[in-house]
Amino acid sequence: MDTATILGILVGIGLLFYGVMDAKGGSEFINAGSFAVTIGGALCATMISLPMNKIKAAVSVAKKVFLTKTRPPQELIKTLVGFAEIARRDGILALEEASKDLDDEFLVKGLQLAVDGADPELISDIMNTELENIIARHDNGRKIFEAMGKYAPAFGMVGTLIGLVALL
């Protein structure tokens, strides 16, 4: 989990909460119906505009954003150098045993192809195709959040109008 992401969200929400509560106790700013229209409307409009399989994929992408810890490039380089040393010292077949502890499916797949004796050019082609598929999946998830970002301001204005009418 990336602590900067979580910290940014929590501090942002905290600042908004403080700003609302600082203004005369904040009760004038809290309207559950307006909140429901804003959030619910944006979600429903997104669901209407996109197929359900893409929406499910976006949920998966959101989970990965918050739950997956990114590894520093230096750590990955160290891991790859370690595998190169194992292959040079013990032979390429030793990589099969060494890769069992990895939690990186992409890297495991590449190592398994090497262990199986695949041609380096074929390994490169397969891994590039796999990388393109990963990028396409992430792009689909991004499109969902872009759609929500387009609809949220409009429903936010509707929620604001509801709050203003209720205030009168």
Which pLDDT belongs to residue 26?
65
In a domain, 125, yes or no: yes
Query: What distance in Å separates the CA atoms of residue 53 and residue 117, rounded to the nearest whole number?
Result: 37
Query: What distance in Å separates the CA atoms of residue 82 and residue 85, rounded to the nearest whole number?
Result: 5
pLDDT tens digits, 76-125: 899 999 999 999 999 988 888 888 888 888 999 999 999 998 999 999 99
In a domain, 42, yes or no: no
Which pLDDT belongs to residue 98?
85
In degrees and rounded to multiples of 5, residue 50 shows phi and psi of -135, 150
In a domain, 146, yes or no: yes
**Residue 126: is its pLDDT beyond 90?**
yes
The parent domain of residue 107 ranges over: 52-151
Instruction: Say what the pTM is.
Output: 0.62
Query: What distance in Å separates the CA atoms of residue 116 and residue 93, rounded to the nearest whole number?
Result: 8
Q: Which of 1-5, 41-45, 69-73, 134-138 is modeled with the greatest confidence?
A: 41-45
Which pLDDT belongs to residue 78?
93
In a domain, 56, yes or no: yes
**Residue 1: is its pLDDT beyond 60?**
no
In a domain, 34, yes or no: no
In a domain, 15, yes or no: no
In degrees and rounded to multiples of 5, residue 92 shows phi and psi of -65, -30
Contacts of 41 (CB under 8 A, 6+ apart): 151, 154, 155, 158, 159
Instruction: Identify which of 19, 28, 47, 25 has the alpha carbon closest to the alpha carbon of residue 160.
Output: 28
Domains held by the chain: number: 1
Query: What distance in Å separates the CA atoms of residue 37 and residue 155, rounded to the nearest whole number?
Result: 6
Query: What distance in Å separates the CA atoms of residue 28 and residue 7, rounded to the nearest whole number?
Result: 28
Which pLDDT belongs to residue 54?
82
Query: What distance in Å separates the CA atoms of residue 96 and residue 109, rounded to the nearest whole number?
Result: 10
pLDDT tens digits, 5-46: 788 889 999 998 888 777 666 666 777 888 889 899 998 998
In a domain, 10, yes or no: no
The answer to whether 151 touches 138, Cβ cutoff 8 Å, is no
In a domain, 123, yes or no: yes
Average pLDDT of 52-73?
80
